[in-house]
Amino acid sequence: MENTTVRLAVRPEGEINDRTFVIASEPVPSLSEGDIRVALEYCSVDPAMRTWLSEITSYVPPMAIGELMRSGGIGEIVETKSADFQVGDKVMGRFGIQSVYSGSTLDVIKLESTNIDIRHYLGGLGGTGLAAYFGLLDVGALKNGETVVVSAAAGAVGHIVVQIARLKGCKVIGIAGGAEKCSRVIEEYGADACIDYKSEPLAERMKNLCPDGIDVYFDNVGGETLEAALDNIALGARIVICGAIGEYDNLDSVNGPRNYLNLIGKAARMQGYVNFHFAEHYETARADLIKWNQEGKLQFRDQTEQGIENFPAILKMLFAGKNNGKLLLKI
Ligand SMILES: NC(=O)c1ccc[n+]([C@@H]2O[C@H](COP(=O)([O-])OP(=O)(O)OC[C@H]3O[C@@H](n4cnc5c(N)ncnc54)[C@H](OP(=O)(O)O)[C@@H]3O)[C@@H](O)[C@H]2O)c1
């Protein structure tokens, strides 16, 4: 049995390019006692992958040259030497970008058979759905009726943020690139308005749409977007730093915010987080997300792209805004 792998070949400077990854076919190793072999079906494709390629320690150490591209994935067990897993079980784990995982069961979760599309466990019920949930409700301490602004609002985290804020009775303003994405944010996810940052003046539009100021700004992009939001915060605002995709290609010289002193006069706070800071609450969060989904109040949008050999081009789609909702790779 052969395994197709995607490994880091050369650290990119700026955008990833043709030399960044090496894609190869490798023989699968034999299993040790307790191990499983998984034929992967879907892998998660995430902006954070770009940060792991740089020689900068974030919440995880940087990837080593030659290391398998890290990723969460879902697949089916095809061979097992573990008493806890059977051939045919659907499982989720940190399997990396490859076609066949062979190894330990550490952090591998069995997905019980339900009517939930298993892909959602990498999206709305996975890292991006959980980031929206914890970011808005715990870090953002959202209260009913507040005004929420979210960037990358048509993306994996963003479209869940818009919908949760709506179901909590908040006024929601999205920010997205292009008229088509903006109309989806309003019509499909329920935002009150959406600013097209590619053609509209951000700070001015925020001021008009949020005359009493922004109570919760949920940031996915950083840079000028974060600065425009900081110029429009309300007294007691919370700025949720979920991510900063606009900065990931240049992590050694991240921009701004030049106007962070606005936090003083507005008694506001700005706080970052990673999902695992809330690990003990994953099950509660997933139960809420499933409940809202089944009540028809929360939809999970996925975009599935085919072919492990296309992984570099698929990862680049996130940075070019070519995804709607959660981007997945079908192996
Ligand atoms: N803290 C955590 O635990 C956690 C967990 C998951 C994700 N995150 C972070 O959350 C953010 C969103 O991740 P995601 O998986 O949901 O990705 P995503 O929003 O589905 O995809 C990225 C989107 O960002 C926008 N974008 C790309 N480059 C941009 C730029 N230079 N300026 C402004 N917008 C840009 C694009 O949308 P447009 O077409 O609208 O420009 C693109 O579709 C990322 O920063 C990620 O690192 C954090």
- Check pocket membership of 221 for ligand 1, CB cut-off 6 A: yes
Helix orientation angle between 282-294 and 156-167, rounded to the nearest 10 degrees = 70
- Check pocket membership of 154 for ligand 1, CB cut-off 6 A: yes
The DSSP bridge partners found for residue 217 are 149, 239
pLDDT tens figures, 286-295: 999 999 999 9
Question: Given 3.30.465.10, 3.30.428.10, 3.40.50.720, 3.30.56.10, which CATH number is that of 127-276?
Answer: 3.40.50.720
Q: Provide, rounded to the nearest whole percent, the portion of the chain with pLDDT above 90.
A: 97
A 10 A CB-CB count for 154 gives: 27
Q: Tell me, what amino acid is at 140?
A: G
Asked whether the predicted pLDDT for residue 57 surpasses 90, the reply is: no
Asked whether the predicted pLDDT for residue 193 surpasses 90, the reply is: yes
**Mutation choice for ligand 1 from 70, 245, 302, 316, CB with most ligand atoms inside 8 A:** 245
> For the domain 2-123+300-330, what is the CATH code?
3.90.180.10
| Spatial contact of 74 and 111, defined as CB atoms under 8 Å apart | yes
Residue (of 305, 313, 309, 306) closest to 4 by Cα position: 309
- Check pocket membership of 73 for ligand 1, CB cut-off 6 A: no
What are the strands, taking DSSP E only, across the chain? Answer: 2-8, 21-27, 36-44, 73-80, 90-93, 100-103, 109-110, 147-150, 171-176, 193-196, 214-219, 233-241, 269-272, 302-306, 326-330
- Check pocket membership of 128 for ligand 1, CB cut-off 6 A: yes
Asked whether the predicted pLDDT for residue 113 surpasses 90, the reply is: no
- Give the distance (Å) from ligand 1 centre to CA of residue 131: 12
Question: Which residue carries 């072919």 as its tokens?
Answer: 307
Closest protein CA for atom 14 of ligand 1: 156
- Give the distance (Å) from ligand 1 centre to CA of residue 296: 25
| Spatial contact of 176 and 322, defined as CB atoms under 8 Å apart | no
A 10 A CB-CB count for 252 gives: 8
In which region does residue 123 sit, left (phi positive, over 0), alpha (psi from -120 to 50) or beta (all else)? alpha
pLDDT tens figures, 306-318: 999 999 999 999 9
pLDDT tens figures, 232-246: 999 999 999 999 999
Q: How far apart are CA 193 and CA 202, in angstroms?
A: 13
pLDDT tens figures, 243-287: 999 999 999 999 989 999 999 999 999 999 999 999 999 999 999
Q: How far apart are CA 120 and CA 302, in angstroms?
A: 8
Query: Can you list the alpha helix ranges (DSSP code H) found in 60-115?
Result: none
| Spatial contact of 97 and 69, defined as CB atoms under 8 Å apart | yes
The single-letter DSSP state of residue 92 is E
- Check pocket membership of 317 for ligand 1, CB cut-off 6 A: no
- Check pocket membership of 177 for ligand 1, CB cut-off 6 A: yes
| Spatial contact of 165 and 214, defined as CB atoms under 8 Å apart | no
| Spatial contact of 95 and 75, defined as CB atoms under 8 Å apart | yes
Domain range summary for the chain, segments of one domain joined by +: 2-123+300-330, 127-276
- Check pocket membership of 127 for ligand 1, CB cut-off 6 A: yes
Asked whether the predicted pLDDT for residue 299 surpasses 90, the reply is: yes
Asked whether the predicted pLDDT for residue 36 surpasses 90, the reply is: yes
**Mutation choice for ligand 1 from 184, 220, 327, CB with most ligand atoms inside 8 A:** 220
- Give the distance (Å) from ligand 1 centre to CA of residue 86: 36
| Spatial contact of 219 and 240, defined as CB atoms under 8 Å apart | yes
- Give the distance (Å) from ligand 1 centre to CA of residue 323: 10
Asked whether the predicted pLDDT for residue 128 surpasses 90, the reply is: yes
- Check pocket membership of 272 for ligand 1, CB cut-off 6 A: no
Taking residues 110-130, report their average pLDDT.
95
**Mutation choice for ligand 1 from 157, 189, 194, 275, CB with most ligand atoms inside 8 A:** 157
Predicted TM-score of the model (pTM): 0.98
b/e sequence 299-327, b meaning 16+ C-beta within 10 Å: ebbbbebeebeebbebbbebbebebbbbb
Looking at residue 256, its pLDDT comes to 85
